[in-house]
Amino acid sequence: MTKTLSIFIYSSLLLCLSCSTNKKEYVAKVKVLKLTHDHIYDQDMVSDVIFDSEELDVDSLKIKSHQLFLKGINEFKNNKNPEKAVILFKESILTFPDAKTYYELGNAKLEIGAKAGDVVLEEANKAYDVAEFLNFKPLSMIYYKQACVYNNRREKDERSVTNILIRAFGNGFSDTTMLKNEVYLKSFLHADVYKNLMTQMALIKINNNPENLFDVYKKAFLTATSSFEIPLDKVDMKDYKQSISYDFSKFVPEMQNSSFGREVSHDFIFVAKVAEKENYTALLYSSINYYGENMQPVHTKLVTYDPDGNIISSKLFAGQFSAEKVKTGRIEGDAITLSDYKRIWKEPIDKVPFEENTIEKYELLAKATFRINEEGKIVEESVPSNYMDSVIVVKN
């Protein structure tokens, strides 16, 4: 071994030892994988982006995405401007992909494409495909809307429209009134294949008793066990991610109020089916205000419906109303217990940011009990005078 080589090896060893003894800690900054316009309908890329973001729990991206989605809904539903809605829906998706955003993007593209032509309609179809990939509910509505897409192509394919509608019926769609009034299927409704389809569906309905829209709606909720509780540390409902489609707005009065005629600011989330009896079904869903800067307001509501989907009673079940005011709820059988709390922070919330602050304790303000009677009405059992409730209930 030459002297020069020996010196080089020795120096290298000293350098390695120096690096190991004077080791510095480096913090790796992981950049979240982002979608681009070129890959907005690439299902693998969408899946990777969601996985990447979920691993890092990037709440700020999800909040911004929902805000853009709600602005898009406002343009689409209230302002009747699908072109502007498309821009906002895509901005929302590029921020963080969501099944309902893809579905509404498809709806906006369908409205534009019915006049603009096949290129836009094909994009609507791609948006519906990604919505299905992301487990959009109800699945039947995706097939129904794709039938509308196929029927508005320049070269109509009645067989394809028929086959897709059969898939829609097979997945729970049965609203023949909606079908008869559908402007995007108007030409198909006069075709002989439509008459044959209706005959076939009538036979299936007699034999199999297919689901109506309310059946599809309540099936989208996870069924709770004998009891269900939303505790103090879960009132923000961040563990629940499945968004309720606007196709179900007839069962969610707040969705109708917030989506038509005023600025849209809330999204709605499936929570649980807590009872299903002969006379009623009891469901829990949450309303989240995505324009709250900190501690976004969340209202979780208990609603009972008759077998046709008409609302019998409703009750504010749990919620995060401000940084300090929260409500918890528990239902066991037909017995309901609701509690109001004051959240006590270690430091003043107007001086210390929430991410640097901690919750010291919860102070119980009031506890009330209710029950669901055999008719499905939510009635009072024991309600103290200081209990806060924004929903009128039926009294004994």
pLDDT by residue (tens digit) across 342-368? 999 988 888 888 878 888 899 999 999
Quote the pLDDT of residue 157.
Answer: 77
Q: Are 307 and 319 in contact (CB under 8 A)?
A: no
- Rg of the chain (C-alpha set): 27
Spell out the SS3 assignment of 24-89.
CCCCCCCCCCCCCHHHCCCHHHHHHHHHHHHHHCCHHHHHHHHHHHHHHHHHHHHCCCHHHHHHHH
Mean pLDDT (the chain) is 83
Q: What angle do CA 165, 129, 270 make, to 5 degrees?
A: 85
The 10s digit of each residue's pLDDT in 78-116 is 899 999 999 999 999 999 999 999 999 999 999 999 999
Is a pLDDT exceeding 80 seen at residue 213? Answer: no
- CA-to-CA distance for 329 and 298, rounded, in angstroms? 13
pTM higher than 0.85, yes or no?
A: no
Q: What is the pLDDT of residue 159?
A: 84
C-beta separation of 105 from 98 below 8 A = no
Question: Residue 103: what pLDDT?
Answer: 97
Sort residue 306 into left (φ over 0), alpha (ψ -120 to 50) or beta.
Answer: beta
Tell me, what's the pLDDT at 319?
A: 93
> Could you report the per-residue pLDDT of 32-44, keeping only the tens digit for each?
578 899 999 999 9
User: What is the set of domains in the chain, with CATH numbers?
Assistant: 37-215 (1.25.40.10), 222-382 (no CATH)
C-beta atoms surrounding 220 within 10 Å: 17
Q: What is the dihedral of CA 102, 104, 110, 115, to 10 degrees?
A: -120
- For residue 391, pLDDT over 70 is answered with no
Least confidently predicted of 13-22, 222-231, 342-351, 375-384: 13-22
137, 171 Cβ separation under 8 angstroms: no
Residue 391 neighbours by CB under 8 Å, 6+ apart: 301, 314, 315, 316
> Does 205 score more than 50 pLDDT?
yes
Helices and strands counted in the chain (H then E): 12, 9
